[in-house]
Amino acid sequence: MVEKKPFITQAEAQKIISDVPTPFHLYDEKGIRANARRVNAAFGWNTGYKEYFAVKATPNPYLLKILKEEGCGVDCSSYTELMLAEACGFTGEEIMFSSNDTPVEDMQKAFALGAYINLDDLTHVDFLERVAGIPAVVCCRYNPGGTFDLGNGIMDNPGDSKYGMTEDQMAEAYTRLMAKGTKEFGIHAFLASNTVTDAYYPVLSGILFELAVRLHQRTGAKIKFINLSGGVGVAYKPGQRANDIAVIGAGVRKKFEEILVPAGMGDVEIFTEMGRFMLAPYGCLVTTALHEKHIYKEYIGVDACAANLMRPAMYGSYHHITVLGKENAPCDHIYDVTGGLCENNDKFAIDRPLPKIDKGDVLVIHDTGAHGFSMGYNYNGKLRSAEVLLCEDGEHQLIRRAETPADYFATFDFSPYYKKLGL
């Protein structure tokens, strides 16, 4: 069971705020490193294991560097993510390129970097050969169709998802790639998102290990790695159970020993591609209460908005909120906590019991370390916030400055209006 406690105190927050005004996303280096070590330990039984952090979750070079120091690679899906990976010093087999609907330049860039290329479709075999070339190792993404069930209910609907290939297409892709010179293969699948159960990876690995044995027997292809992709969730809500990565790693090992080892495939490397599990709990959005409003409901308006954290508006997601300095005060007020977008879904919390909030209070919105800042946008002319790292030694470091109006208007720099903006 998870107790929701911020990783900063009011005093620590005030110190940072005197340097970087709110709103900003704050990341906890100590927590990130400790979690990465738990992940690597959980899969340490597999000698080729590697976590490829999903860059889209938190595309910040300072955070990618921390993960690199902990032995992680990166999973990229676009040209700019590949550029970022390259700038952080990731090369070759430290990069997975899991894209779909892939543009020519993106495929060429991934090939030039020597990344593991994960093909989303059978037609991409010829596409890859035509625009780039045929690598010695190629991964193919699998979609089993139907529904994905963990025994206690449907988790997701692969049959409705645009990703991946059928088993027959996987076999055909391998056969055609072998004829063109590919020597070794990977298998990849992402079948459910934000799973809060230790069963997801083990069940998925059972499916993929059996598929690997069938594909090997059918085509003769040598399977080099199996990438379990992302989807391991975190406990966003208080009292929710948290995934136990050690139990998850042991569950995957059991399937490995039951299925792959007897098939003579005990040398297969296990990869993961987690975003949320790696960073979500180790980031938070720090924001200041600007206004209170009393109409038919009680509102607290803060200086952050959905442009800084889209998940509540987009998915109705729960993000826990702590009012700094009032951690132990009774939650005897019911508030909607809102941003300033001209959209009524711009609410970080609806009907949330919280302590009495006063103007100027600093609120911590929890678990924004993944799919937080990165989903930001500029609607209503709102600017993206800064990102700050709380370093292991307790100091803080600006790792992305806040946007300015000059950033917002930069794409008009060719036009006569740009001058008149007086930037």
Ligand X SMILES: *Cc1c(COP(=O)(O)O)cnc(C)c1O
Shortest distance in whole angstroms from residue 55 CB to ligand X: 9
Cβ proximity to ligand X, 274 vs 302, nearer residue? 274
Complex with ligand X: residue 135 or 369, whichever CB lies closer: 369
Binding of residue 75 to ligand X (CB under 6 A): yes
Structural tokens at position 32? 């990130």
Q: Taking contact as CB under 6 A, which single stretch among the options 102-110, 205-213, 228-236, 389-397 is the one that binds ligand X?
A: 228-236
**Binds ligand X by CB under 6 A, chosen from 231, 283, 355, 372:** 231
Residue ranges in 264-384 assigned as alpha helix (H): 276-279, 311-315
Binding string, 275-294, against ligand X, x = CB under 6 A? xxx-----------------
- Interaction between residue 370 and ligand X (CB under 6 A): yes
3 state SS of 74: strand
Using CB under 6 A as the criterion, what x/- string covers residues 153-192 for binding ligand X? -------------------------------------x--
Among residues 365, 370, 372, 375, the alpha carbon closest in space to that of 319 is found at 365
Q: Tell me the closest approach of the beta carbon of residue 65 to ligand X, in angstroms.
A: 19
Residue 227 CB, shortest distance to ligand X, in Å, is 8
* 197 Cα distance to chain centroid: 18
Q: 6 or 275, CB closer to ligand X? A: 275
As a whole number of angstroms, the distance between CA 4 and CA 355 comes to 15
Total residues at the site for ligand X (CB under 6 A)? 18
Least distance from C-beta 208 to ligand X, angstroms? Answer: 14
Single out the residue of 8, 54, 204, 309 in contact with ligand X (rule: CB under 6 A).
Answer: 54
Task: Determine how β-strand 137-141 pairs with β-strand 333-338.
Answer: unpaired
Q: Compute the distance between CA of residue 56 and CA of residue 193 in angstroms, rounded to an integer.
A: 14
Pick from 135, 230, 281, 369 the residue near ligand X by CB under 6 A: 230
Q: How far is CA 201 from CA 209, 248, 410, in A?
A: 12, 7, 44
Q: Which of 285, 350, 280 is closest to 313 using CA atoms? A: 350
Q: Residue 349's closest CA among 359, 339, 340?
A: 339
396 binds ligand X (CB under 6 A): no
Q: Where are the alpha helices (DSSP H) in 285-348?
A: 311-315
Choose, by CB under 6 A, the member of 81, 273, 346, 387 that binds ligand X.
273
**Token output for 193:** 């998102």
Chain residue whose CB lies nearest ligand X: 230
Q: Binding segment for ligand X among 64-72, 201-209, 248-256, 269-277 (CB under 6 A)?
A: 269-277
Q: Which long-range contacts (CB under 8 A, 24 or more apart) does 325-330 make?
A: 325/10, 325/361, 325/362, 326/355, 326/356, 326/357, 326/361, 327/5, 327/6, 329/355, 329/356, 330/355
User: Candidates 4-12, 18-26, 218-226, 268-276 — which segment interacts with ligand X by CB under 6 A?
Assistant: 268-276
Q: What is the binding site for ligand X (CB under 6 A)?
A: 54, 56-57, 75, 98, 190, 193-194, 229-232, 273-277, 370
